[in-house]
Amino acid sequence: MTPGPRAFDIKPIEYDLTPFAGLLNDGRPHRIDVSVVGVPQGQTGWSTPVNVLVQQDAGSRQVTGALTGNRASDLTKSSVHTPSSTEHRLDTKGGHRLTVSGYLDTSHGRVTTTVRRTLANTSVHRWTEGENTDALTATWTDDESVTVDGRGPAEARRIHRTYTMDGTSLRPLLRDPATPWDKPVLMTFGVTDTQDHFTGLFDYAVRSNQYRYIQYHAGGRELYVEGTDPNEFTNVVADPSHAGVIAQLAAYIPT
């Protein structure tokens, strides 16, 4: 469990490595590494586990191919600090583009795959002297297009992903636990299989001052009234009188 008010909605990031398949399937050992840009190698605090999903061609003993193009733009980044006697502000922007192509000679003929991906980030950090006010809002966009050409007409798939963060400071609450606080806590649990491999599925729980709502990846739900049932013995999710509370808390769960 990783609890936190309006916690990061961290979902697995997927990369289509099909253009590299011919290279990876050449009979020699290969290694795939994932790192976080800007984090020094060996620094603790970041976890980048990798799962590789492979599809097999039942009609071929070995699928061969080649990487035909790999173009990555330079990483763009900028930051502007605007000082003020009342509030400081830091605006940052970043971006990166990648285009990669490759082909595979399959049992159905040659198939060429081209992946184009564009990543961008904007963030605004505002704070006052003494950090009595300290807030961060940020948006990441991830646009991907995959074109597959070979078996019949070319097929194109486009995916747009947006990740956001509302970084409200906990400092006032830590200084005085009696500080009014209307934001619930979102808890995320990554589901693993019997081999302890991450499945890409999540269970969620949302905790407010009075309630805890749980939503499982398989569809199960639970709701507990913490004020009168702190040990969570009675699941009231089926009680229609709590429908409004369920809808309010469920709105914090990523979709």
Please count the other Cβ atoms lying within 10 Å of the Cβ belonging to residue 220.
11
pLDDT (average), residues 36-42: 77
How far is the C-alpha of 141 from the C-alpha of 160, rounded, in Å?
7
Mean pLDDT check: name the lowest of 15-24, 112-121, 153-162, 220-229: 153-162
Give residue 132's pLDDT: 66
Judge residue 109's burial from the number of C-beta atoms within 10 Å of its C-beta, 0-12 exposed, 13-18 middle, 19 or more buried: exposed
For 50-88, b/e burial (b = at least 16 CB within 10 A) is eeeeeeeeeeeeebebeeeeeeeeeeeeeeeeeeeeeeb
Answer yes or no: is pLDDT of 106 > 90: yes
Residue 7 in tokens: 């916690």
How far is the C-alpha of 53 from the C-alpha of 100, rounded, in Å?
19
Which of residues 202 and 42 earns the better pLDDT score? 202
Instruction: Say whether pTM exceeds 0.75.
Output: no
Q: What are the phi and psi torsion angles at 2 (to 5°)?
A: -130, 90
pLDDT (average), residues 110-121: 95
Give residue 129's pLDDT: 79
The model's pLDDT over 147-168, given as tens digits with 9 standing for 90+, comes to 999 877 889 999 998 877 766 6
Percent of the chain with pLDDT over 70: 93
The model's pLDDT over 166-176, given as tens digits with 9 standing for 90+, comes to 666 777 777 78
**Confidence band (pLDDT; 50, 70, 90) for 178?**
confident
The model's pLDDT over 184-203, given as tens digits with 9 standing for 90+, comes to 888 888 888 888 888 888 89
pLDDT (average), residues 10-32: 87
The model's pLDDT over 46-59, given as tens digits with 9 standing for 90+, comes to 777 788 888 889 99
Residue 32 in tokens: 């795939």
Domains of the chain: 15-168 (no CATH), 184-255 (3.30.1120.10)
The residue among 191, 234, 236 whose CA lies nearest residue 216 is 191
